[in-house]
Structure 1
């Protein structure tokens, strides 16, 4: 087969995938960016006195409203919640996930059962996990039964609601990091650890000098996936705490409320586009500055 024929065959095989990606990814993204510059305005036009209906091009007004209008305070609170959820939740997930991976990697009787039990939270749908933790954190729930002192109103607005979301998210997704780190641990040759023991390296010294550097590429990719996922968090705070809460509203919750509750698709798209840019910057930092090997191109 000639090179030209191979190229045509490859293009033919790839084209269905490209068409599907264009329909389910490219078109929604382009539509969202377009809507961010429009706003629906129904009523009487003060300039012409005529009744107007539908969307009107407003340029950057939707973004200006986010950063310098009546909705600025709520947007900045949601952006801060999104960022703090990511920093606190992913940090705890990394620590617990690495510990889980170390436990699952050790050879002991019943290891298969332990691995299955650790991965159960990751298999639970997020909305179901939110309802489960809502039952745990209700006023007469398990959390208040275990803690001394008066009952804590976890599912109301406030710092305790923020803590409840972080705890639920950590429980739900720490096994994901543990699973990826376990895959990295299993490709480390045993001879390396045996040589370290012969050289007199203790467990902690071997972990920080050998194990952690060798699983760093896998760990960075796992952290990148979790950071990007947490920045887009919606279903957990929405089902666990509910919308309209200053301490737990995220940017995605604001976008959902604007679009579904109020029918303002322009401002909702502006929220979504801003979050998209934020996520893109974070991904660039991980890939370029921290060296996360997402494509597996480094040896």
Structure 2
């Protein structure tokens, strides 16, 4: 005897069947409400950020516009029609910028530009290598790790002017450096020795900055990843090249970018350690300061504008070419895309 199973309304099979699709009008209304909600969130975000935008406009936009305007003028002294001496500012257009490429001012500018680039590339490269080594050392579990982390932070916490005075005492003719080397090198005079002194002091002070940021990136790497690599037979070097460095790359790029922008504006350390007016260590910031100190505000503003453009170009190239996610926009886009897909899933 055979039995036949019939499906009745309200049975389990019918309850598991997908419901009817919503009409297009309801879907459009839902999308419209979602768009209005996102628009409201955008307006609220703009309202909350407006005080910060006003402050940035006052401390960044206004000085920049003022510097550009000042760079188009030059202080000149002359004699009027009555034979009296007159002083004032004269509009020279791009004259201050053209003077950067000719004569003694041009030679001094090119020297400062070369020094700035050399110090930036050298110090940031050494700081990146040393900072990565420090991060790897601080990330390992051993007795005294907390003391090591605190001691590494000390150079970064010391003010730059104090650090310059400290290293000036070390690099004196009868200082610790010459006693250890058994020589009498004039570290704070003109020449290659002064460049080495600035590089050593700068790397000592700022390498912990990169080390601490890279350490923060290492702390978020799951331990299960390393355990799986050990099971697969990967050694320490293989784990470093295949796991650690790729996963800390975003943090490392941001740290290197910050250091690049800071090194391009180098002023206080060579100023205190070596002194002003030294061609071997004069940077663009020091050159702009010297021009303003001589009351040549037009040329000083031109130097400052050139330095600003240099820093801006380096930042844009670094972000576009190497993909440093400074503002977190990549993560924000991924989060928004994930949210949209989750909202669109039930509707479809």
Residue of structure 2 in register with 1:182 after alignment: 215
How far did residue 2 of structure 1 move? 9.1
Residue of structure 1 in register with 2:232 after alignment: 199
1:18 matched to 2:71: no
1:134 matched to 2:182: no
Within 2, Cα distance between the matches of 1:276 and 1:167? 26
1:44 matched to 2:76: no
1:293 matched to 2:328: no
The change in CA–CA distance for 1:9 and 1:209 in structure 2 (over 3 A counts) is closer
Higher relative contact order (CA 8 A, sep 6+): 1
Q: 2:104 pairs with 55, 67, 70, which one?
A: 70
Residue of structure 2 in register with 1:35 after alignment: 70
Residue of structure 1 in register with 2:336 after alignment: none
- Note the aligned Cα RMSD (angstroms): 2.0
1:272 matched to 2:304: yes
Within 2, Cα distance between the matches of 1:9 and 1:193? 43
Within 2, Cα distance between the matches of 1:184 and 1:4? 34
Deviations 1:144-169 (A, max 9, x none): 01113x31000001000000000000
1:250 matched to 2:286: no
Query: What SS does the aligned partner of 1:139 have?
Result: coil
Bigger mean CA offset, 187-196 vs 250-259: 187-196
How far did residue 12 of structure 1 move? 4.7
Deviations 1:16-44 (A, max 9, x none): 32222221111111101111111111232
Bigger mean CA offset, 31-40 vs 16-25: 16-25
Kindly report structure 1 stretches of 4+ aligned residues shifted beyond 4 Å. Answer: 1-12, 47-50
Deviations 1:249-283 (A, max 9, x none): 000000000002x1101000000100111111100
The change in CA–CA distance for 1:4 and 1:203 in structure 2 (over 3 A counts) is closer
1:216 matched to 2:249: yes
1:123 matched to 2:162: no
Within 2, Cα distance between the matches of 1:228 and 1:159? 24
Is there any run of 5+ residues in structure 1 with no aligned partner, and where?
none
The change in CA–CA distance for 1:73 and 1:186 in structure 2 (over 3 A counts) is same
Deviations 1:48-82 (A, max 9, x none): 85533221110111111111232111111111010
The change in CA–CA distance for 1:98 and 1:2 in structure 2 (over 3 A counts) is closer
1:90 matched to 2:132: no
TM normalised by structure 2 equals 0.81
Residue of structure 2 in register with 1:146 after alignment: 180
Query: What SS does the aligned partner of 1:108 have?
Result: coil
Within 2, Cα distance between the matches of 1:48 and 1:219? 66
Is there any run of 5+ residues in structure 2 with no aligned partner, and where?
1-35, 332-348
Query: What SS does the aligned partner of 1:42 have?
Result: strand
| Number of aligned residue pairs | 296
The change in CA–CA distance for 1:132 and 1:54 in structure 2 (over 3 A counts) is same
1:165 matched to 2:198: yes
